[in-house]
Amino acid sequence: MSTRKQQDRVVLVDRDWHGDWEVSLPDGRRCATCETLDVARRVAYRQAVRILPCELVIRDAYHRVVDHEIVDHA
């Protein structure tokens, strides 16, 4: 079993300067840009269940955490 660092298990949803929502994977890659938070949350959750357990963190344009969830089941 491999040991991963905590930051290797975080999927981020961030608001960009255009007002869209960007979903970023633990390795720093962006996997999607979404027009609404609901769509971004669904995309992020689908990514999070691939690397269980995982943290799903949603931040506003000022990088304040507005939602945080531990995803430990599909």
| Lateral strand order in the sheet of 10-15 | 30-34, 21-24, 10-15, 54-59, 65-71
Is the pLDDT assigned to residue 6 strictly greater than 60?
Answer: no
Domain ranges of the chain: 6-71
Residues 11-68: tens digit of each pLDDT: 999 998 889 999 999 988 888 999 999 999 999 999 999 888 999 999 998 999 999 9
At 45 the pLDDT is: 94
At 2 the pLDDT is: 45
At 31 the pLDDT is: 86
